[in-house]
Amino acid sequence: MAVVALKPGYTGPVQDTEDKFHGNRLLYICWDEHLLFCAPMALPLPPTMPFGALLSEVLPGLYGSHPDFAQIDWGQVQWTHSGEPFHPDPALSLSDNGLVHKSVIRFYAPGLRGIQGSCS
30 inside domain: yes
Domain hosting 35: range is 22-115
Domain count, the chain: 1
pTM for the model? 0.86
31 domain-assigned: yes
**For residue 117, what pLDDT is reported?**
82
CB 30 within 8 A of CB 41: yes
Q: What is the CATH number of the domain that holds 100?
A: 3.10.20.560
Q: Are 49 and 43 in contact (CB under 8 A)?
A: no
Domain membership flag for residue 1: no
User: pLDDT, tens digit, for every residue of 92-109?
Assistant: 999 999 999 999 999 999
User: Does 9 fall in a domain?
Assistant: no
pLDDT-based confidence at residue 3 (cuts at 50, 70, 90): low
Q: Is the pLDDT of residue 44 over 60?
A: yes
DSSP element (H, E) containing 53? helix 51-53
Kindly indicate the confidence band of residue 21, based on its pLDDT and cuts at 50, 70 and 90.
Answer: very high
Per the prediction, the chain carries an average pLDDT of 92
**pLDDT for 15:** 86
In what helix (H) or strand (E) does residue 106 lie, and over which residues does it extend?
Answer: strand 103-108
Nearest to 92 by CA among 64, 45, 50, 31: 50
In a domain, 60, yes or no: yes
